[in-house]
A and B are shown apart, each in its own frame.
Chain A
Amino acid sequence: MPLELYYFLSITAVNILLSWALYLPYRVAHLHFITVANMAISGYSAAWLVMTLHVPFGWALLVGFALGALVGWLVSLFIGDAPTFAVVIVGFTFIFIVRTVIENLPAVGATMGIFGLPNIGGNPETHRRIIMAILAGMLLVVGFFLHRFDHTRLGRAAAAVFVDKDLAASLGVDIKGLGMLVQTVSCTIAGGTGVLYGFIYKSFHLDFFTFALVGIAMTIIFVGGYATPWGTVVLAPILYGVPLLFPSWLQEWRIVIYGAVLVIVLVLKPEGFITRRFVVTIESFLSGDRKRRDNPASKEDV
C-alpha cells in the first residue's frame, strides 16, 4: 500500500473513531471533550509499556482501552447527569491537566515526546497492515454498535434526554445511568483510538492532542450531522482529504477553513448535512419500505 494512501486511510479512520466517541455522548447532549485527554492518557501509557517494559503491542492496546474505560467511568460518576456546559469544561480542563502532567514527566519524554516505537510484526509493511486491520475492525464494531444503539430502547431514551431531560426523567429514563454508560463507552473508544493514533506515526507528541483536534472532531460531527453516525463517515474523509489537495500555503489555514465551514453550516443548516430523515429515506429505499419512506417520523426513527 502506498504510504500516502496508508496515512490518508488511517488518519481518516482515527478521525471517524474520535468523532464517533464524541457523537455517542452527544446523543444525551453531552459534548464530552475528555475523549481527547483520554486518547493522550491511553496512547502515552501504551507507548511507555511497549518501550520501557517491552509489553507486546496487543496487550498495550488492551490496556489503552481499559484505561480509557476506567477514566471515563470514574469521571462519569460525577458528571453523568451534569449540564452540557459543565461536561464541556470538565473535558477542556482535563486536556489542560493531562498535557501539563505529560510535559513534566521525563518517563514519557516530557515536551520531546516518545519516538521510535517499534514496528508491529517486525517490518514497516506488516506494521501498516496490522494497524489498518485493527482500525477497520474497530470501525466495523463501533459503527455497528452505534447503528444498533440508535434503534434500541437505550437509543430512544437518549433521544428523549437530548430533546427534554425533564420529560425523559418523568418517563422513567435513568438520566445518570444513561449518561454514565455513553460517557464510559465513548472514553473506551477514545482510549483505543489514542493508542493507534500514535502507533500510526510510531511516535507520541503533545502536539497530537491539542484543542485543534477537538475542533476537527467537532467540525466533522456538526457539519456531517449530529443526529446519525453516518454524517461522520461522509465528512471525515472529505474534511481531511480535500485540504491535502490545496497548495501548501492554503493548507496552513486548514483550521480557519474548518472553523468557517462549522460556523456557516451551524447558521444555514444547523442539523448538518446527513440528517436522520435523510438516513431513513435511504434505508427505506434500500429496503423497499415505502410507508416508512413517506413517514420518516415513525416509532423506529425518533
Chain B
Amino acid sequence: MQTLIAQVINGLSLGSIYVLLVTGFNLLLLVAMIIHFSYPQVVVFSMYISWVVLRATGNNLVLGVLAGIASSVILNLVSAPLFQKVMARRGEVDINSTMVLSMGIGMIITDVLSHSFNQGLPVAFPDNLASDKPIATFGVISIVTGQVWSLAVGIVSVALFFLLLYRTRPGRAFRAIAEDPAGARLVGIPILRTGLYSYALTGVLGGIIAVLLSMLLGSAYPGLGEQVAHKVLAVSIIAGLGNLVGGLVVGLLLGILEAIVQGYVSGSWSNAIAFVVMLVVILVRPKGLFGSRL
C-alpha cells in the first residue's frame, strides 16, 4: 500500500508537468491554430540551455532558470512567423501542415541537441536544482524537493493560467479567437497580435516546465522531447483536442498511471504499458473522451 501511495505522489508530480505541457499545447492550438507537435522539444532545448548556463555560472540557479525561460520564449517567437507564413500560403487555417512544419522543427532541435551538447550524452543537473535527497520520509514513501516543487508550481501555474484565461481582458481575447476567429476579428480583437501573445505565453510556460522537468528528472537527453511530444499529443487527443479541462484530468491520470506501472513493472516495459493504454483509448475513441473544441 505504501508503494502505491509513493507512486501516486510521484505520478501527481509528473502529471502536473504533463498538464502544463498539454495546456501550452492546447493554447497554441486554440489561439494560434497550430499543432505545435515539437513544443516539448522546445522545452527540452530550454533544459539544455539551462544546463549550459548553470555550468558556465557555477550553478547560479537564478540565471539558469531565467536562461531556460528566455530560450523557450525566443524559440517560440522565432517559429511564429514560420507557422503564420505556412497558413498564409495555404490561404486558410490548416493545422495539419502546421503539424508537419512543427515536426521538421522538432527534427532539427533533437539532432542539434544530440550533436552540440555534451557529445550527445545525457546531461545531469546539479544538486542545487535537482536534489534527490528526501525532505520527508514515511516508511518507504520519501518525498524529494523536485516532486514538491513540480506539484506546487504546476498547481499554481495552471491556476494562474485559468485565471488569466477566464478573468482578464487578454484571456477573453484568447477565448474569443478559440470560439470564433471571424467573430473575434469583427469585434476588433487583433488576431495576429493575440496569436503572438499566445506564442510568448506558451514560451514562458515552456521555460517553467523545463525547470520543473530538470528538478524532477535530474537529467535530460536528446530523445526526451520526442518521447514527451508523443505523450502530450496523445493526452491532448484522449482528452479531446483543445479541451483545457479534459487535458488537466487526462494529464494527471497519465502521470499517475505511468508512476504506478513503474512501481510494479520493470524498466523499459513500463513506458510501453503506458503507451498501450493510450493506444487503446485512441483507437476506441479517436475523437477524445471529453470532446474536441475544434
Contact = CB atoms under 8 A, between A and B. Distances in A.
B89 A82 contact: no
A255 B111 contact: yes
Given A29-B96, A104-B268, A263-B105, A86 B111 contact: no
Nearest to A211: B226
Interface string B93-115: 00111011101111110111001
A31 B230 CA distance: 14
Instruction: Classify the secondary structure of B's interface with A.
Output: helix
A259 B100 contact: no
Contact of B282 (A86, A212, A252, A258): A86
B9 to A, nearest CB: 26
A136 to B, nearest CB: 30
A89 B287 contact: no
Of B104, B112, B230, B237, which is in contact with the most chain A CB atoms at under 10 Å from its CB?
Answer: B104
A271 to B, nearest CB: 9
A31 B279 contact: no
B241 interface: yes
Contacts of B237: 85-86, 89
B283 A75 contact: yes
**Range, interface on chain B:** 35 or more
Contacts of B95: 85
A259 B99 CA distance: 13
A12 to B, nearest CB: 20
B185 interface: no
B111 A97 contact: no
A218 B38 CA distance: 15
A127 B27 CA distance: 54
Interface in A98-116: 100-101, 103-104
A78 B104 contact: no
Nearest to A96: B275
A85 B269 contact: no
B234 A31 contact: no
Interface in A9-24: none
Contact of A89 (B104, B234, B269, B276): B234
A90 B104 contact: no
B286 A97 contact: no
Nearest to B266: A104
Given A262-B107, A266-B97, A97 B272 contact: yes
B72 to A, nearest CB: 19
Contacts of B279: 90, 93-94, 97
B193 interface: no
Given A85-B35, A100-B269, A104-B269, A79 B100 contact: no
Given A89-B230, A97-B272, A218-B103, A82 B286 contact: yes
Interface in A202-248: 211-212, 215, 218-219, 222
Contacts of A97: 272, 275-276, 279
B272 A267 contact: no
A26 B90 CA distance: 17
A89 B108 contact: no
Interface in B232-291: 233-234, 237, 241, 268-269, 271-272, 275-276, 278-279, 282-284, 286-287
B108 A259 contact: yes
B189 interface: no
Contacts of A258: 107
Contact of A266 (B86, B227, B272): B86
Interface of B: 35, 37, 82, 85-86, 89-90, 95-97, 99-101, 103-108, 110-112, 115, 226-227, 230, 233-234, 237, 241, 268-269, 271-272, 275-276, 278-279, 282-284, 286-287
29 contacts: A75-B283, A83-B286, A84-B96, A85-B35, A85-B96, A85-B99, A93-B275, A93-B279, A96-B230, A96-B272, A97-B276, A100-B268, A215-B107, A218-B100, A218-B103, A218-B104, A222-B100, A253-B115, A255-B108, A255-B111, A256-B108, A256-B112, A259-B104, A263-B82, A263-B101, A263-B105, A263-B108, A266-B100, A270-B90
Given A78-B286, A89-B230, A101-B272, 10 more contacts: A85-B241, A89-B282, A93-B230, A96-B271, A100-B269, A212-B107, A219-B104, A263-B105, A263-B108, A267-B101
